Structure 1
Amino acid sequence: MTPEGNATSHEYDVVVIGGGAAGLTAALVLARARRRVAVVDAGAPRNAPAAHMHGFLGSDGMPPADLLSAGRSEVAGYGGHVLQGRVDDVVPARGSSPRLWFHVRLEDGRTLRTRRVLITTGLRDEIPDVPGAHERWGRDLLHCPYCHGWEVRDQPLGVLGGTPEAIAHAQLVREWSADVVLFSNGAILTVDEREQLVARGIGIVDEPVTRLSIEDDRLVGVEIESGRVVPRAAVFVRPDFVPHDDLLLRLGCATHDNGWVAVDVTGGTSVPGIWAAGNAVNPRAQVVTAAGEGSAAAIAINNDLVVEDVAVAISAGGPPARPGVVG
């Protein structure tokens, strides 16, 4: 059955897929521009394990869930719709309409008809398969020192190695504490790398890591292959970033050489009518960055809709004359 004939279908100017900072900010801007907008939120934000978020002016220290709750309320306050669900597919609509249309199909059978789509589905962090790592992720096993470094400043810190970025990550973490240890996790360091680490007083443990040591629901150290536990109050790790970009790839969006979907400065993809913002296309975007990208995408989308509205009005011969208005 087509969306037009489906009792569960709805029509919008923009459907935003993803209800994080990027998606909700975009929806807020679009709703304030008097666009019919819906946000489809699967309810699984990347920063859910974190107790607080930082570096967002005016919201520093706020629990991530509180920010999203406030954002949903603000969007709804301007007439936007926030729908709980997961999108199964986005399909360009075929037909004779002069407007560009897409069908957004949800897993529960609902179909949304929309003129533009903004995808802000984020990414997932793949962390090392070390016992204790998943349980402590976002608590005292951390990724971003800009997000969490202040809270663990001047404490004994560790950096879990084994990736090419680990050395640079250890040098960065060193800005927050003079007591930093790199756990190379069996990786071979070059002479230059060791020299750089030693020069800044960063300790080096070459043995493979066997587990994170936990006592009373807190990290107390890192256990290495010999059985020794190196006391640490928090450990940083650079995870692998895996974007939730299936919808973008299925739509045929062009990618960079590294496989990430390419967007312009406004979030526009190579597919007309499809935008993307936040961690789905930018692994480095923090909450404040994602919100900014969502705002930029929303403004670009609204401008694109205005251009289409003008073209459609001209092709239709313009609106009927109003009394007292000279044409």
Structure 2
Amino acid sequence: MATLCAPIYSRRPSTIAPTDYDVVIVGAGCAGLGAALVLGRCRRRVLVCDGGAPRNAPSSGVHAFLSRDGIKPQELLRISREQLEPYPSVVIRPGKVTNVSAENHGFTLIAESESGRPATITTRKLLLATGVDDELPPLDGMRELWGRGVLHCPYCHGWEVQDKALAVYGRGKMVVGLALLISRWSRDVVVCTDGPMGISANARRRLQAQGITVREEPIIRLQGNRRGDLKCILFKNGDELERDALFVHAHQHQRGTLAEQLGCRTTSKGAVWTDKYLQTSMRGVYAAGDMTPGSQQALIAAAEGTQAGIFLNERLTKEECV
């Protein structure tokens, strides 16, 4: 099997077993690249494994990212990678990590390589930054319009659709909270439940007080235009509701299985638990970005990755300076 190696910059005591890298980062989004930048500046031997397109790839722009508001997702990643070039100890390789195991030296990973042969990689520490996948409702048009006509975060996209005709899709308490939040950006908000809503009379009263109407009729599909914007919602009874955008709070699942393979603790909502140092329940394994609890925004992921890089370097240094 092929082995990916980087130049060795750090000095390690003879009691620390040699590894290919000080840190392997699985995930090349804002969290992973943020950590790589810090660790590269610390002269750490780092491998970033890029498993593919980021979660926000369908989006027309990354918003609320200070100094980069509205930048296209791929352009943000291009700039981030470019800014890693001055740090020769950081290596970025395409390929998915398929297996990980804890060893005496740290961790051994099996990853896809450019040659098509699996690569074996050893590392002292591991940072998971693989993010999550959104589980969109099985409604015709939902996936096709995702990221433009169908949106998930008002803090990311609310400004762009302010004062427009908006819809919020879902049922129960979750959709009530999202609809009330969306009403800060527009006074024309309709909740579409695609069936019985399942909320209390008090929740209905709160929606009504904000001028939010509820449509509980079954939906056939979402219809958009060629640009990928939402045009209207088509109901089974033949009604059409013209809307400019629809917000949905989609369920999520972890994008990768490495945390599960290692037995890392997860929260009741499926996020990977971390302590205040961003270390998971498995010693030596850290996590950052959307896969951890908390708000999910590109800027927050980048900041969390930066924090993880600092914590990792300080832990490595403590182990070296005995």
Higher mean C-alpha deviation, range 295-304 or range 277-286: 277-286
SS in 2 for 1:134: coil
Q: Is 1:226 aligned to 2:237, yes or no?
A: yes
Extract unaligned runs of 5+ from structure 2.
6-19
Partner residue of 1:40 out of 32, 36, 49: 49
Q: Give the Cα–Cα distance (whole angstroms) in 1 for the partners of residues 209 and 2 of structure 2.
A: 68
CA shift for structure 1 position 43: 1.7
Q: Deviation at 1:258? A: 3.9
Q: Distance in 2 between matches of 1:229 and 1:9?
A: 56
Q: 2:3 aligns with which of 3, 8, 18?
A: 8
Give the structure 2 partner of residue 159 of structure 1. 168
2:285 equivalent to 1:274: yes
Unmatched segments (≥5 aa) in structure 1: 1-5, 95-99, 312-327
Amino acid at match of 1:61: G
Where does residue 244 of structure 1 map in the other structure? 255
Aligned match of 1:296: 307
> 1:76 touches 1:82 (CA, 8 Å); kept in 2?
no
CA, structure 1 residues 299+60, in 2 after alignment: closer, same or farther (shift >3 Å)? same
Which residue, 123, 139, 142 being the options, matches 2:148? 139
Q: Which of these residues, 186, 191, 196, is aligned with residue 195 of structure 2?
A: 186
Determine the structure 2 residue equivalent to 1:196: 206
Cα gap change, 1:175/1:69 in structure 2, threshold over 3 Å: closer, same or farther? same
Deviation at 1:7, TM superposition (A): 4.9
1:308 aligns to what? 319
Shift of 1:183: 0.7
Letter in 1 for 2:306: S
- Find the counterpart in structure 2 of residue 261 from structure 1: 272
For residues 130-180 of structure 1, the C-alpha deviation after alignment (integer angstroms, 9 at most, x for no partner) is: 111100000110000100010011010001123541111000110100111
The structure with more helix, counted as a fraction of residues: 1
The whole-number CA distance in structure 2 between the counterparts of 1:178 and 1:242 is: 32
Aligned equivalents of 1:216, 1:8: Cα separation in 2: 46
1:272/1:128 CA distance change after superposition, 3 Å:
same
Amino acid at match of 1:8: T
Q: Select which of 19, 28, 37 maps to 2:37.
A: 28
Question: Alignment partner for residue 95 of structure 2, among 85, 89, 93?
Answer: 85
* Partner SS state of residue 83, structure 2: helix
Structure 1 position 266, deviation (Å): 2.3
| CA shift for structure 1 position 259 | 3.9
Per-residue deviation, 1:196: 0.7
Q: Tell me the secondary structure at the aligned position of residue 280 of structure 1.
A: coil
Residue 102 in 1 paired to residue 107 in 2? yes
Pair 1:211 & 2:221 matched = yes
Retained in 2: the 8 A contact 1:241–1:283? no
> CA 1:225–1:7 in structure 2 vs 1: closer, same or farther (change >3 Å)?
closer
Q: Deviations over 1:24-71 (max 9, x none)?
A: 000000000110111000122000000101011001010011111111
User: What is the CA–CA distance in structure 1 between the aligned matches of 2:223 and 2:240, rounded to whole Å?
Assistant: 7
Q: CA deviation at 1:203?
A: 1.5
CA contact under 8 A between 1:245 and 1:280: conserved in structure 2? no
Q: Report Cα offsets for 1:219-277 as digits up to 9, x if no partner.
A: 21111121111110111111001122510121121223444321012210111111001
Secondary structure at the counterpart of residue 148 of structure 2: coil
- Structure 1 CA distance for aligned equivalents of residues 225 and 54 of structure 2: 28
1:281 is paired with a residue of what secondary structure? coil
Whole-Å separation in 2 of the counterparts to 1:260 and 1:239: 14
Residue range with higher mean Cα deviation, 66-75 or 231-240 = 66-75
Larger CA Rg, structure 1 vs 2: 1
Partner of 2:224, secondary structure, is: strand
Supply the AA of the counterpart residue of 2:240: V
RMSD: 1.5
Question: Structure 1 residues 103 and 76, CA, compared in 2 at 3 Å: closer, same or farther?
Answer: farther
Identity of paired residues, percent? 40
1:190 is matched by which residue type in structure 2? S
Which stretch shifts more, 44-53 or 162-171?
162-171
Q: CA 1:216/1:74 → structure 2, altered by over 3 Å: closer, same or farther?
A: closer
